[in-house]
Structure 1
Amino acid sequence: MTSIVALGAVTVGINLASNQAEQRELGLTPGSASIIPVQQMEEIRLALEKHHGTLPHPASGGSIGNTANLLARAGIHCGFMGIGGNDTFGRIFVANCERASLVFLSKLEDGLVTGYDFYLYDEDGVRTIILTHGANALLSPAHIDLQAIQRADLVLIDGVALSFGSASETALSYCLQATEAANVPFVLALAGADIVEGYRDFFDTFAPKAQMVAGNLEQAAVLVGLEPEASLNEVKSALTKSPIDAVITLDAGGAYARFGNEEFLVPTQKIEAVDSTGAGDNFLAAFLVARMKGLSVRQALAVGNV
Structure 2
Amino acid sequence: MTYKHLNTQELTFIYHFWKQGTKAYLAARALRRSAETIYRVYRFLNQGKTIVQYQEHYHHQKTKCGRKSITLPKDERKYIQKQVSTLAGHQIPSLVVTSIILAVVCEPYIGYRMFKRGEFDVRQLPMKGRRHPNGYVETRGRGRTGQLGRNIDERYNDYPNYRNEFGHLEADTVQGSKHHGAVMTLVERLSKVEIILNIHHRTAECVNTHFDQWLAKIPRHLFKSITFDNGKEFAEWREIANKYDISIYFAEVGAPNQRGLNENNNGIIRRDGLKKGMDFRSLPDELIQ
Shorter-chain TM-score range:
under 0.3
Question: TM-score when scaled to structure 2?
Answer: 0.26
Q: Radius of gyration: which is bigger? A: 2
- TM-score normalised by length of structure 1: 0.25
